[in-house]
């Protein structure tokens, strides 16, 4: 059994490592050796740009804008200093018409000083702009759903540097962080189920007329009167948001959903069950 486990884990590790090393579609080494036949857009960055470990947004841009040749110059694990070291071969040599830069999440995780990050990023942008290409800097997205913990607490200093470099060099600024953080704040805190129950009676007195029902499916359903019908079982997401319930003794079942869904049936993202809000 232990031998089989070691084999499985070793195979998974090899597959993961090969995925990490896999070059992106239309990388600079394959695309930039010849003269461009269409305007070239070079997307430079790290793993979020390379797309082998997550969503390939560069591929989506390529499919949506066939009039451009889209070159993926993302390299997993890169920091801005790494991009500076390869900017000549992976960006300038491509003779780009436009360049997007999304780089810095690894700098945040590795605690690279924001001043050094700002200086290296400015050098990259100034070198790219000598080609005559239009340059767009993206702010760094949230690193996890909890905006008030972990590396997200250090992120504002780096995004301030991105915005400052864009302003000083005349590059465009794309507010990626602002859009994603706004969506996360609207969705509510990313924590597990918290349930509110009505007060319990002690002894053998009469039960309260309405209590939440916990079914075998581990779901949470709307309080219902004795003999009354159960709410519908079919859950759904509301406006792309997930509900977050809270536990406060002595109060009825409630949930923090979008305003348009205050009386609707919601599904909790972490699969803690189903919940129907009371009328």
66 with 94, same domain: the answer is yes
Q: Give the pLDDT of residue 268.
A: 37
| 258-274 residues labelled b (16+ CB within 10 A) or e (exposed) | beebeebbbbbeeebbb
Q: Give the pLDDT of residue 55.
A: 80
Contact present, 178 and 139 (Cβ < 8 Å): yes
- Mark which of 157, 187, 217 sits at the end of a domain: 187
How many domains in the chain? 2
33 with 112, same domain: the answer is yes
Of 97, 108, 191, 168, nearest in space to 142 by CA: 108
E strands, 166-219, are 172-174, 211-214
Q: Give the pLDDT of residue 202.
A: 53
- Say if 74 falls within a structural domain: yes
180 with 226, same domain: the answer is no
Of 102, 187, 104, 193, nearest in space to 146 by CA: 187
29 with 166, same domain: the answer is yes
229 with 98, same domain: the answer is no
- Say if 11 falls within a structural domain: no
64 with 49, same domain: the answer is yes
67 with 168, same domain: the answer is yes
Q: Give the pLDDT of residue 24.
A: 67
Of 59, 57, 52, nearest in space to 76 by CA: 52
Structure tokens that stand for 204 in this block: 């053998």
Give the CATH number, domain containing residue 44: 3.40.50.1110
Q: Give the pLDDT of residue 262.
A: 39
222 with 254, same domain: the answer is yes
- Say if 245 falls within a structural domain: yes
Instruction: Tell me the C-alpha to C-alpha distance, in Å, between residue 11 and each of 14, 25, 147, 169, 258.
Output: 5, 24, 35, 47, 44
43 with 177, same domain: the answer is yes
Calpha distance 110→105 (Å, rounded): 9
pTM above 0.85, yes or no: no
**Domain span holding position 28:** 21-187
Neighbouring residues of 17: CB distance < 8 A, sequence distance ≥ 6 = none
153 with 224, same domain: the answer is no
Q: Euclidean distance between the first and final Cα of the chain, in Å? A: 54
- Say if 13 falls within a structural domain: no
Q: Give the pLDDT of residue 34.
A: 86
99 with 110, same domain: the answer is yes
Of 149, 169, 146, 166, nearest in space to 158 by CA: 166
Q: Give the pLDDT of residue 64.
A: 95
- Say if 5 falls within a structural domain: no
112 with 58, same domain: the answer is yes
pLDDT tens for the chain, 279 residues: list them.
566 554 445 444 433 433 444 566 889 988 888 888 999 999 999 999 998 767 899 999 999 999 999 999 999 999 999 999 999 999 999 999 999 999 999 999 999 999 999 999 999 999 999 999 999 999 999 998 899 988 999 999 999 999 999 999 999 999 999 999 999 988 876 654 444 555 555 555 555 554 444 444 444 444 444 455 555 444 444 444 444 433 333 333 334 444 444 344 344 333 333 333 344
- Mark which of 187, 220, 235 sits at the end of a domain: 187
Neighbouring residues of 176: CB distance < 8 A, sequence distance ≥ 6 = 102, 138, 139, 140, 141
- Say if 2 falls within a structural domain: no
- Say if 14 falls within a structural domain: no
């Amino acid at each position: 059994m232990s031998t089989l486990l070691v084999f499985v884990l070793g195979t998974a590790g090899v597959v993961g490592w090969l995925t990490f090393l896999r070059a992106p579609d239309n990388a600079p080494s394959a695309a930039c050796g010849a003269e461009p036949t269409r305007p070239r857009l070079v997307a430079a960055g790290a793993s979020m740009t390379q797309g082998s470990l997550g969503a390939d947004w560069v591929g989506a841009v390529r499919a949506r804008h066939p009039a451009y040749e889209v070159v993926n110059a993302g390299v997993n694990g890169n920091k801005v200093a790494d991009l500076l070291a390869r900017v000549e071969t992976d960006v300038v040599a491509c003779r780009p018409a436009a360049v997007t830069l999304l780089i810095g999440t690894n700098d945040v995780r590795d605690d690279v000083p924001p001043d050094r990050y700002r200086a290296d990023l400015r050098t990259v942008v100034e070198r790219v702009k000598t080609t005559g290409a239009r340059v767009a800097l993206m702010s760094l997205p949230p690193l996890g759903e909890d905006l008030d913990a972990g590396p997200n607490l250090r992120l504002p200093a780096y995004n301030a540097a991105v915005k400052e470099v864009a302003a000083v060099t005349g590059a465009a600024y794309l507010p990626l962080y602002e859009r994603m953080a706004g969506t996360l704040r609207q969705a509510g805190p990313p924590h597990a189920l918290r349930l509110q129950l009505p007060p319990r009676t002690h002894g053998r007195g009469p039960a309260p007329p309405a209590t939440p029902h916990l079914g075998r499916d581990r779901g949470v359903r709307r309080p219902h009167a004795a003999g009354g019908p159960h709410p519908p079982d079919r859950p759904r997401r509301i406006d792309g948001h997930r509900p977050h319930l809270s536990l406060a003794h002595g109060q009825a079942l409630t949930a923090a959903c979008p305003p348009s869904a205050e009386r609707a049936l919601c599904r909790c993202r972490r699969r803690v069950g189903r919940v129907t809000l009371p009328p």
